[in-house]
Amino acid sequence: MDNHKKNILLQNCNNLEPNQIISIVQTGQITIEEFKAAGLSQNIINQILSSLTTKEQAEDKAAKKSELLEKVVRGRVSADEIKANINNGNFSFDDLLDVGIQEKVVNSLKHYCNSNRITMFRNISQLPPMEEGRTDVYFVGVPGSGKSTMLSGLLNVANKSGVLMPDIYNNDGSIYQTQLISDLNRGVLPNATASGSYNYVALSLKDEDGAKHPFNIVEVPGENYVNIFNNGDVGEFLNYISNSNKKILIFVVDSLSHDTGYNDSSNQLDQNLVYVNILNMFKSNGVLNQTDAIYIVANKFDAIKASRYATNNSSDDSLAFEFLQDEFKNLIENCKDARDESKNKFKIKVLPFSIGNVSFTSIIDNFDKEYSQVVIDNLIEDSFVVKGSRFKLFS
Ligand SMILES: Nc1nc2c(ncn2[C@@H]2O[C@H](COP(=O)(O)OP(=O)(O)OP(=O)(O)O)[C@@H](O)[C@H]2O)c(=O)[nH]1
Ligand SMILES: [Mg+2]
C-alpha cells in the first residue's frame, strides 16, 4: 500500500468499518498501533483487539486439535488421555469419527469416558474367607501383566457359552464379575486394579456333562508380588490362602514387556526372578502340596506374534512353548524341580494368551475368544467336580 493511500485511511479511520480495519491489520498493511496514533477511538480498538485475539486463539485451538487428532490416529494415546481431551473440549467424539476412527471403537471410547466404572479397594483382611471345598485359582503376575484382562476374557466367554454360574459367597466379587463381563462386551478392558487391592470372585463352571466345578478366583495385586519379592513379607497373604482347598496357580508372564526390555517404568523387575521367587515361597509354605496344576501363560501373545514371530508359521502353542523355553527356562525348571519334590505331582502347562487387538491401552477392537476358551477348558480339566452336581435338564 502506498503512503498516500495509507495516510488517507488513517485520517478517516473513525469512519471505517471495524471489519475493514481488521483485514487491513491482518494483512499487515497498517498496524493497530498506527491506527491508535491516528486517533482511532478506544472503543473500536478494543473491539478489534478482542476479535483478533479470539481469531488467533481459534487458530491455535484448531492447530492443537489437529495435532492431537493426528496422535490419536497413530494410536499414540491412551483412552485416559482421550477422555481428558474430550472433557477439556479439545476434540469431540464426532471429530474422532471424522478422522477415521471406527465407529465401534468410538462407541467403546464413549463407554470408557461416560460410565462410572468402579475400582473396588479391598485389602486382604477385608476379603470374605475363602469358601472351602472349591478349587482356588491364583493369578500371579507383576503389575500390568494382564491378570484382570485375562479374568475378564474368561468370565466373558464362560458367560457367553452358558457355563458360568456365579456363586454368591462374595457380593463384591459378583459386582466385579458383572462389571468385567459388561465392560468387555462394550470393548473396554478392566481398570488397573487399585494399588494394593485384592479381588476375590467365587464362581462355578459347568462341564460338558453338566457337572459343576466350583472355584475361588483370587487376583492378587501386581505390586504385592513385587513386595513379596522385595521384602519377603508374606505372612498375611499366606495366612489367607492356607486352607485345605486344591489350587491352580496361573503365572501370567507379560511377554510384551519382556520382549521390549522392560522399558515401562512400572514393570522394571525381571519377571523370571520374581516368579521363581514366588514359586519358592509357595513351595516352602506347603502350598504346592495342594497344587494340582501350574499354568505358565505367555500373555499378550498377539504382540510377540506380530513382532518376534512375524515370519514364523508354527502353531500358537508351539510358539508359546518356544518363547517360554527360551526366555523363562529358569521358571520352567524350577517348576519341574518343585513338582519332583512335592507330594502332589501337579501338572505344568504352558499356554499362549491374548485378549485380542488392544488400542488406546484400554480398548479392545476385536476380542479373541479362542485363547480364553482354552484356559476355561484347562481349568475344567484340572479341577474337581462337586459330587451329585451332575444334572442334565436341557439335553
Ligand atoms: N497387546 C495386548 N495388551 C494387553 C493384553 N492384555 C492386557 N494388555 C495390556 O496390559 C494392560 C494391563 O492389563 P491388566 O489386566 O490391567 O493388568 P494386571 O495384571 O491386572 O495389572 P494390575 O491390576 O496393575 O496388577 C492393559 O490395560 C492392556 O493395555 C493382551 O492380551 N494383548
Ligand atoms: Mg488388575
**Which residue puts its alpha carbon closest to atom 4 of ligand 1?**
300
The pTM is what?
0.85
Tell me, in angstroms, the distance from the centre of ligand 1 to residue 145's CA. Answer: 5
pLDDT of residue 233: 67
pLDDT of residue 262: 54
Q: Nearest Cα to 288, choosing from 348, 234, 213, 357?
A: 348
Neighbours of 290 (CB within 10 A): 20
Please choose from 76, 358, 367 the residue to mutate so as to test ligand 1's pocket, defined by most ligand atoms within 8 A of CB. 358
164 CB-side CA count, 13 A:
21
pLDDT of residue 39: 94
Contact yes or no for 50/43 (Cβ under 8 A): no
- Rounded Cα distance, 358 and 105, in Å: 11
Residue 313, φ and ψ in degrees, nearest 5: -95, 10
pLDDT of residue 118: 66
Q: What is the pLDDT along the chain (395 residues), one digit of tens a residue?
A: 889 999 999 999 999 998 999 989 888 899 999 999 999 999 999 988 888 878 888 888 899 999 999 999 999 999 999 999 999 999 999 999 999 999 999 999 999 998 777 667 788 888 888 888 899 999 998 888 999 999 999 999 999 999 999 887 778 888 889 999 999 999 999 887 777 788 889 999 999 998 999 999 998 877 777 777 777 667 788 888 888 899 999 999 999 887 776 555 554 568 888 899 889 888 988 899 999 999 999 999 999 998 899 999 999 999 999 999 999 999 999 999 999 999 889 999 999 999 999 999 999 988 999 999 999 999 999 998 876 555 545 44
Tell me, in angstroms, the distance from the centre of ligand 1 to residue 144's CA. Answer: 5
**Which ligand approaches the C-alpha of residue 303 most closely?**
1
**Atom of ligand 1 minimally distant from the CA of 145:** 19
Domains of the chain and CATH, by start: 1-73 (no CATH), 124-382 (3.40.50.300)
User: Which residues form ligand 1's pocket by a CB distance below 6 Å?
Assistant: 141, 143-149, 189-190, 192-193, 221-222, 256, 299-300, 302-303, 354-355, 358, 361-362
| Cell numbers linked to 80 | 485416559
Contact yes or no for 281/242 (Cβ under 8 A): no
- Rounded Cα distance, 290 and 288, in Å: 5
Alpha-carbon distance values, 232 to 59, 225, 235, 237, 284 (Å): 57, 9, 9, 11, 12
User: Locate cell 462407541: which residue?
Assistant: 107
- Rounded Cα distance, 169 and 174, in Å: 9
